[in-house]
Every structure is written in C-alpha cells, then in structure tokens.
C-alpha cells in the first residue's frame, strides 16, 4: 500500500499531525495548549502571592517553601501549569530503595536529597495550585524582569523544554496529565542542580535527575522507581515494572531502495498492543527519529498524534479511552534515507512475533533470519517474506550490493558457516583489514567453542557471517572484517578473537533474550562479551587477564567521572559500565563457583547452559538470574549481588602477611584492610600458596568490614610465594606487602 497523505502542522519545532480528513476540535485544542506550555514568561500575566511555611508532599518528596514569592503562570483550562518561587525553601527526599539510593549516590555523591534552595521552577498538572490557594491570597500580576532573569539563570526552563531530545516529550506528558488533572497528576520541580519529577504515565513514575556539570543541558537520572503506594523497593523486585502497554505482534510490508540499498522508501507496519493500565487514551510509541512517519491509522481509520521531528517518541491520541486488556492495532506509514532500528517499539522490552514482506532492488542482497526464497517481481525489484518461529525483542537485517562470494566452512556440530566475501572489503581499499584466514578461523573457533558448552544455537541450521558490524541475529553473525582489533594496542587484550566471540555469542544471548524490564539491560550487553573472554581464555590464556585489567581500569575512570551507578539501574548506567562491570561480575561469579580442589568450572558452565535455555524461552528478571546462580553455587549469594549488581564502589585491599614456623609446620598470618566500600561489605577471596617444591595450594577466605585477620595453614613445607586475590577473583585494587 502506498503512503497516505498527511497534514503537517508546525508548533515551535514540533510536528503535530491530524487525521487526513481534518483535525478534530480536541486536536485543535491540544495544539493551542501545547503552544501555551512554551509561552514566553516575561510580562506574562499570572498570579502572585507571598508564601510562608508551606509544605507540599509529592510521593516521597517533602518540599518546604519557608518564605518567599511564588508566581503562577501559563494557564490551561483556567488553571496554571507553571510556577516560579524565589525565596527560601528546602527539599527532602529519602530514597526507599537500596539500588536507587546507590544509583543517586553514584552521580551526586549523596544517597539522599536534603537541599536548601532560593529558586525553584515548577511544572504541574496536579493540585499544587489549589493547595497554595487554600492558604494564601493571590493577586493578578505580570512576571517582571527581575524574577524572569532569576528564573532564566536557574536554567529550570531549559531542562524541561523539549529542545533537546528526551526519551519522552515533557510537554506531551504534562498535557496528557492536565486533561485528567488530579492530585495524582504530573509534577516537576527544578531546584539547585536537582530535578524531582512525578509522572503517572511513566512506567517508573518517580525520578530524581541531577545536572552533572554547569554547562550540561541535560540532567542525568540518578534514581527512578515506582510510586510510594506500590511499595516495591526490594532490589530483587524492582524489575516488576507496570508497563502501560505490551507489544504482541509486528507485521507489514517494507520497500527498500537508495543507491546503497539502505533507504527505507516506504514502510507499512501494523503493530498490536495490549493495554496493561486501567485506562488509556494517550499511547506512547517509539520510532527512530531518522525515520519520518507519513500517517498513522487506528483500526483502519486515521488517528491523531503528536511527534517532534527530532524525537523518537510518538504520542497517539485515541478518539476515546480504552481499558485494561484491550488489544489496539495501529498501522504506521513511514520512510527514511537510512534506517537504524526499522520498526516501532514500546517501553516494554517483551519479545513478540515478526512477519514482513520486503520489496528490494534487484541488484542488492538482504540477509535476515526467517527469509523465504527470493521472488523476482520485475526487472528492477525482488520480493521475499520474513517470518520466524522465534520471537524477538528487536529485529535487524543487513544489505549488500551484488558481487558476493559465499565461502562455506563446516562447524564441529555440522552447522554450515557461510562467510560472505565482499569485493569492496579488501586490504587494498580499507584500513584495519582483518586477513581472511584470521577472520574466518577466529569465528569458526568461537562457534565451535560455544557449541561445546551451550549446544547448537536455537532453531538455526545454517549461519551467514556478514563482514560488517551491526547487530547479530539468529542465523546471522555480523562482525567487522574492517576492525582495528588486530592492531596495537588491541592485540594485547585479545585482538580480533574478542570481536568474533562477542558476535558469535549473540546467537545464544542476543535478540532472543526475554528480559522483564530495562533493568536487565546489563545481561544483554555483558554476557556475550564475557563469553568472548572465555573463548579468549581458552585460545590465548594470559591475554584474558590483560583484557580484564583494561576493563577494571576503565571502571575506575568512570568512578572518577561520576559515572558509576549499579548495573540494575539498566540503561541509565553507561554502556561502558554495563559491559565492563557486567563482565567482571560474571568473571567473579565464575571463579566463585570454581572448584579449587579439582581445578574445574563445571558449576559455572552448567549455570550458563541453564540460563541459555531459560532466558530465550521465558521472561526473566535480575531476581531469576540471582536465583539460578544460587542454585548452581549451592548457597545464598545476597552478599555478592548486593555489592556487584545492586551496589557501587570498588574495594581497595591493603594486605600484609607474615610466614611463621611452629614446630615442623608453617602458617601464613594475613591482615587485610578494606577501604572504598560500605562497612557491611563482605566477599570471598581466592589465594594461592607455593612451597619450595613448587607445590601449589589454592584457598578461599572471607574478607569483611574494615579489617580482617586470618591464618592460613598448616603447611608441611615453608611457603615461598603467597598470592592474594588469585584469578583476580575480586574486582579491586590491591597492595600486598610481606612483613
């Protein structure tokens, strides 16, 4: 079907689109109200009052306006949506969740908020104005230059405006709450370098943001969690997020074109959502900003919606409210000169079926899982369908021009690995070229290594290896042959084997993962990387440790730059933290499960095997990951995950030891001082003792609190070497000294 015509209306820099047959009265009002939210404040008529000892409670925040002047502005339906306070005030917020207090401390260096302020900027769609008017007398007054200047210098307006892409459009979120104005409505306050917000239409309604630098235009989210009355504060339960919608199906037709085959000429995509909220009229969909929509239909009729041209967020405005359990069907027509993530999505990361028909230029080759045979339409176009028994949380594909050779290489389990050889990728034409032998051998070796421990990839009997980087899918290993990983300094940390291992590992731990929420993001990021390191350990040995140390140093750098927040904070943690700290968590778990006496890691391998089966067939949470680890470890691991999954900060060990002889036996007295972590910190540390006959003894000891002392032994022969933190069993910096 061809793209439908659409009506384009510009409000500020926004794109507001109405039905093809004309705008409803509601959309006209919506656009007027949207403009009002951005009305210039100078000389804006509003209401002003002197306030004293006014206390306002919003969820877990207690906001005290001790003394000053408050100005109410920007009225919609007779009530203000903006307030500016100048005077003396205070905000107190006690974070009820351990993981979120740790996240906030990672950014602000404090796990609570207790801030005096002199200027506060407020946007609201709740009863804040009514509560004020119950206690104070307001009079009509324009906002004068002095107060306008003070508010401008505080930057509160800057952080709220959708002039820089946020995940949501703040104006849209405020408006949708205004139309249901209640005590439970939207509230946003900027004070000093903090922003506290409550949005009833976000999956996690409460958020505390913090301006990291004076010149920063976007505040980073330090803490986010559900409203107080839901009462989910336990670290293990934080993944139980009430997403407003769940995607249950994606299907449609996509036409590709352009001189490189990457242009999305026309997409007609139908998505089905089921409602989880009690009732909704405003629906959030997301589409990469590079893809421009023409129109959206709901149940066969054009529907009104709002989207700013540089935002992923699309706010759909339904003709009426729908209730929990209802299934909604939307058809979107869109296009783009390039594509990233080519399909619409929602906040909820649940997997769903995908089924599409692709029409493509005849001279290009497309690769994606579940492809049918290619059908020739005419002299210029081909067509094929894509439908798989797998369900994906994301769907990707790759395109290449003609002149492709396919080099088949069998794996140990009989699955054929088909390497696509592109003429434009060669040593003569590109820098950092990975030689064919290195490229193919490394991928085959990584595939064989992982099938040894994880079995064959799910529902895959043939694999295509694409020599450019995007995202691997089942049956599609995308790894760059133009990688600089074979050059110094990458050689010292594993070279191309790390790149190949990561791409191969995503056959098991990639887009088939079924995370319950954003809080499991670290697993998808770190687990393929750690499997690549296990492959590296198998193939290269010592380079594995060099890679770990490089990642450790990167984490310390992020800590110094106030970027260290818990892994369980999800995508709020930087991708470097998610990958590097996640890799270290898995490494520590591996050697925690390691059998020191037998020198085997069967428990960890069995854990990986069971998790591989679980995470692609069932929805999983961080709690499930922890429970499975405890099952294979055989003991509770709260002490481990409290620090490394739900906590932050890294220990620093100062170790002193002395070798003593008592009769015919020898002992090692060890004192460990621990800094940099909470006093409740505890961990087990692996150690190695070597005697004069080079006999090696491996041991574990528990280290906890600020200082721990223990004695190792007895040993029949005098030890000549003592190694603390063998295998790098703990992510730490150590100073070890013999007394």
Strand residues in 160-276 grouped as ranges (E)? 187-191, 194-198, 206-210, 220-225, 245-257, 263-275
Same domain, 231 and 247: no
Of the listed ranges 261-270, 528-537, 558-567, 661-670, the least confidently predicted one is 558-567
At 468, the pLDDT band (50, 70, 90 cuts) reads confident
Whether residue 497 is predicted with pLDDT greater than 80 in this model: the reply is: yes
Strand, helix or coil at 393? coil
User: Which residues, other chains included, contact 430 with Cβ-Cβ below 8 Å and sequence gap of 6+?
Assistant: 482
Same domain, 382 and 491: no
Per the domain annotation, does 6 fall within a domain? Answer: no
Instruction: Compute the distance between CA of residue 494 and CA of residue 545 in angstroms, rounded to an integer.
Output: 10
Same domain, 392 and 258: yes
Domain that holds residue 710: 652-738
Residue-wise pLDDT tens digits, 604-660: 999 999 999 999 889 999 999 999 999 999 999 999 999 999 999 899 999 999 999
DSSP labels for 419-445? EEEETT-STTTSSSPPPHHHHHHHHHH
Q: What is the CA radius of gyration of the chain?
A: 29
Q: What percent of the chain has pLDDT over 90?
A: 77
Same domain, 230 and 251: no
Instruction: Compute the distance between CA of residue 319 and CA of residue 331 in angstroms, rounded to an integer.
Output: 16
Residue with the bigger pLDDT between 468 and 272: it is 272
**Dihedral angle computed from the Cα positions of residues 657, 660, 666 and 672, in that order, rounded to the nearest 10 degrees:** -20
With contact defined as beta carbons under 8 Å apart, do 187 and 129 qualify? Answer: no
The three-state DSSP-derived secondary structure of 373-390 is CCEECCCCEEEEEEECCC
Residue-wise pLDDT tens digits, 547-586: 999 999 999 998 888 788 999 999 999 999 999 999 999 9
Residue with the bigger pLDDT between 275 and 148: it is 275
Last residue of one domain, picked from the residues 212, 237, 262: 237
Per the domain annotation, does 11 fall within a domain? Answer: no
Residue-wise pLDDT tens digits, 696-720: 999 999 999 999 999 999 999 999 9
What's the half-sphere exposure (Cβ side, CA atoms, 13 Å) at 361? Answer: 16
Residue with tokens 């750098």: 557
Instruction: Compute the distance between CA of residue 403 and CA of residue 383 in angstroms, rounded to an integer.
Output: 19
Same domain, 182 and 118: yes
Per the domain annotation, does 483 fall within a domain? Answer: yes
User: What count of other Cβ atoms lies within 10 Å of the Cβ of residue 152?
Assistant: 14
Taking residues 157-174, report their average pLDDT: 89
Whether residue 410 is predicted with pLDDT greater than 70 in this model: the reply is: yes
Whether residue 215 is predicted with pLDDT greater than 70 in this model: the reply is: no
Taking residues 461-471, report their average pLDDT: 86
With contact defined as beta carbons under 8 Å apart, do 207 and 113 qualify? Answer: no
Residue with the bigger pLDDT between 121 and 40: it is 121
Q: What is the CATH number of the domain that holds 290?
A: 2.60.40.1730
Residue-wise pLDDT tens digits, 221-255: 999 999 999 999 999 999 999 999 999 999 999 99
How many domains in the chain?
4
Whether residue 15 is predicted with pLDDT greater than 60 in this model: the reply is: no
Residue-wise pLDDT tens digits, 326-385: 999 999 999 999 887 899 999 999 999 999 999 999 989 998 888 999 999 999 999 999
Q: What percent of the chain has pLDDT over 70?
A: 96
Is residue 64 exposed (0-12), middle (13-18) or buried (19+ Cβ within 10 Å)?
middle
Same domain, 175 and 231: yes
At 402, the pLDDT band (50, 70, 90 cuts) reads confident
Q: Identify the H or E element spanning 104.
A: helix 98-108
How many residues are present in the chain? 739
Q: Identify the H or E element spanning 176.
A: helix 170-178
Sign of dihedral through CA atoms 640, 645, 647, 652?
positive
Phi, psi (5° rounding) for residue 71? -120, 130
With contact defined as beta carbons under 8 Å apart, do 173 and 207 qualify? Answer: no
At 12, the pLDDT band (50, 70, 90 cuts) reads very low
Last residue of one domain, picked from the residues 619, 634, 667: 619
Structure confidence at residue 727 (pLDDT)? 96
Whether residue 536 is predicted with pLDDT greater than 70 in this model: the reply is: yes
Per the domain annotation, does 229 fall within a domain? Answer: yes
Q: Which two tokens stand for residue 163?
A: 């002039």
Q: What is the CATH number of the domain that holds 556?
A: 1.10.390.10
Cis preceding-peptide flag for 489 (omega within 30 of 0): yes
Structure confidence at residue 363 (pLDDT)? 86
Per the domain annotation, does 626 fall within a domain? Answer: no
With contact defined as beta carbons under 8 Å apart, do 372 and 386 qualify? Answer: yes
Taking residues 587-602, report their average pLDDT: 96
Per the domain annotation, does 413 fall within a domain? Answer: no
Same domain, 231 and 351: no
At 216, the pLDDT band (50, 70, 90 cuts) reads low
Last residue of one domain, picked from the residues 401, 431, 458: 401
Of the listed ranges 72-76, 152-156, 735-739, the least confidently predicted one is 152-156
Whether residue 151 is predicted with pLDDT greater than 80 in this model: the reply is: no
Same domain, 122 and 211: yes
With contact defined as beta carbons under 8 Å apart, do 532 and 443 qualify? Answer: no
Sign of dihedral through CA atoms 487, 489, 494, 499?
negative
Per the domain annotation, does 29 fall within a domain? Answer: no
At 429, the pLDDT band (50, 70, 90 cuts) reads low
At 214, the pLDDT band (50, 70, 90 cuts) reads low
Instruction: Compute the distance between CA of residue 191 and CA of residue 151 in angstroms, rounded to an integer.
Output: 11
Per the domain annotation, does 222 fall within a domain? Answer: yes
Cα-Cα end-to-end distance for the chain: 80
Same domain, 41 and 187: yes
Same domain, 250 and 379: yes
With contact defined as beta carbons under 8 Å apart, do 411 and 444 qualify? Answer: yes
Q: pTM of the entire structure?
A: 0.93
Q: Identify the H or E element spanning 410.
A: strand 404-410
Whether residue 14 is predicted with pLDDT greater than 70 in this model: the reply is: no
Taking residues 384-402, report their average pLDDT: 88
Same domain, 226 and 179: yes
What's the half-sphere exposure (Cβ side, CA atoms, 13 Å) at 693? Answer: 5
Whether residue 17 is predicted with pLDDT greater than 70 in this model: the reply is: no
Instruction: Compute the distance between CA of residue 85 and CA of residue 121 in angstroms, rounded to an integer.
Output: 7
Same domain, 252 and 232: no
Q: β-strand 187-191 against 113-124: which pairing, if any? A: antiparallel
Structure confidence at residue 484 (pLDDT)? 85
Instruction: Compute the distance between CA of residue 625 and CA of residue 72 in angstroms, rounded to an integer.
Output: 49
Structure confidence at residue 196 (pLDDT)? 97
Given 3-state DSSP classes, what are the helix, strand and coil percentages for the chain, each rounded to the nearest 5? 25, 40, 35
Is residue 678 exposed (0-12), middle (13-18) or buried (19+ Cβ within 10 Å)?
middle
């Amino acid at each position: 079907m061809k793209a439908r015509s659409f009506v384009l209306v510009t409000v500020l820099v926004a794109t507001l689109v109405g039905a093809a047959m004309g705008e409803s009265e509601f959309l006209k009002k919506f656009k007027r109200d949207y403009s009002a939210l951005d009305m210039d404040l100078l000389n804006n008529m509003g209401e002003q009052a002197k306030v004293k000892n006014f206390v306002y409670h919003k969820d877990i925040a207690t906001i005290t306006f001790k003394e000053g002047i408050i100005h109410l502005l920007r009225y919609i339906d007779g009530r203000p949506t903006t307030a500016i306070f100048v005077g003396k005030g205070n905000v107190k917020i006690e974070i009820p969740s351990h993981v979120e207090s740790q996240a906030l401390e990672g950014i602000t260096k404090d796990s609570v908020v207790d801030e005096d302020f002199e200027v506060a900027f407020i946007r609201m769609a709740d009863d804040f104005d009514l509560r004020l008017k119950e206690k104070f007398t307001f009079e009509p007054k324009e906002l004068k230059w002095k107060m306008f200047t003070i508010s401008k210098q505080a930057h509160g307006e800057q952080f709220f405006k959708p002039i820089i892409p946020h995940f949501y459009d703040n104006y849209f979120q405020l408006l949708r709450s205004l139309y249901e104005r209640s005590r439970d409505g939207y509230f946003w306050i900027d004070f000093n370098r903090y922003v506290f917000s409550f949005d009833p239409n976000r999956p996690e309604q409460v958020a505390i943001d913090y301006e990291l630098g004076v010149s920063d235009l976007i505040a980073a989210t330090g803490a986010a969690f559900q409203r107080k009355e839901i009462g989910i504060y336990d670290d293990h339960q934080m993944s139980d997020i009430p997403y407003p919608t769940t995607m249950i199906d994606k299907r449609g037709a996509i036409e590709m074109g352009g001189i490189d085959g990457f242009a999305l000429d026309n997409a007609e995509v139908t998505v089905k959502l089921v409602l989880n909220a009690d009732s909704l009229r405003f629906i959030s969909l997301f589409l990469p900003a590079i893809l421009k929509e023409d129109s959206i239909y709901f149940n066969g009729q054009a529907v009104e919606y709002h989207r700013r041209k540089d935002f992923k967020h699309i706010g759909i405005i339904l003709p009426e409210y729908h209730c929990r359990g209802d299934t909604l069907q939307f058809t979107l027509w869109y296009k783009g000169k390039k594509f990233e993530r080519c399909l619409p999505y929602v906040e909820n990361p649940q997997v769903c079926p995908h089924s599409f028909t692709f029409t493509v230029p005849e001279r290009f080759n497309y690769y994606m899982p579940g492809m049918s045979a290619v059908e020739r339409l005419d002299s210029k176009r081909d067509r094929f369908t894509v439908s798989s028994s797998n369900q994906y949380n994301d769907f990707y594909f790759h395109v290449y021009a003609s002149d492709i050779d396919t080099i088949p290489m069998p794996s140990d389990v009989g699955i054929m690995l088909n390497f696509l050889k592109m003429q434009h990728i060669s040593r003569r034409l590109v820098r950092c070229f990975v030689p064919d032998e290195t490229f193919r051998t490394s991928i085959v070796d990584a595939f064989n290594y992982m099938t040894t421990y994880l079995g064959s990839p799910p529902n895959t009997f043939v694999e295509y290896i694409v020599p450019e980087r995007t995202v691997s899918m089942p049956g599609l290993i995308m790894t760059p042959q133009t990688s600089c990983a074979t050059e110094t300094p990458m050689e010292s940390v594993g070279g191309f084997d790390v790149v190949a291992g990561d791409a191969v590992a995503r056959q098991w731990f990639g887009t088939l993962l079924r995370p319950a929420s954003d809080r499991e993001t670290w697993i998808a990021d770190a687990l393929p990387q750690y499997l690549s390191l296990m492959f590296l350990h198998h193939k290269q040995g010592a380079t594995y440790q060099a890679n770990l140390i490089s990642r450790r140093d990167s984490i310390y750098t992020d800590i110094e730059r106030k970027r260290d927040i818990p892994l369980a904070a999800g995508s709020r943690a930087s991708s470097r933290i998610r990958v590097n700290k996640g890799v270290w968590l898995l490494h520590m778990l591996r050697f925690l499960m390691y059998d020191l006496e037998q020198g085997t890691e069967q428990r960890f391998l069995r854990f990986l095997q069971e998790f591989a089966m679980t995470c692609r067939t069932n929805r999983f949470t961080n709690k499930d990951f922890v429970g499975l680890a405890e099952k294979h470890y055989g003991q509770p691991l709260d002490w481990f995950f409290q620090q490394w999954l739900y906590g932050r900060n890294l220990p620093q060990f100062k170790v002193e030891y002395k070798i003593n002889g008592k009769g015919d036996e020898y002992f090692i007295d060890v004192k460990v001082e621990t800094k940099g972590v909470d006093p409740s910190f505890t961990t087990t540390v692996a150690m190695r003792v070597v005697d004069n006959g080079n006999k090696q003894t491996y041991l574990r000891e528990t280290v906890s609190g600020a200082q721990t002392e223990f004695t190792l032994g007895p040993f029949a022969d005098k030890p000549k070497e003592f190694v603390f933190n063998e295998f790098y069993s703990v992510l730490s910096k150590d100073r070890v000294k013999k007394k």
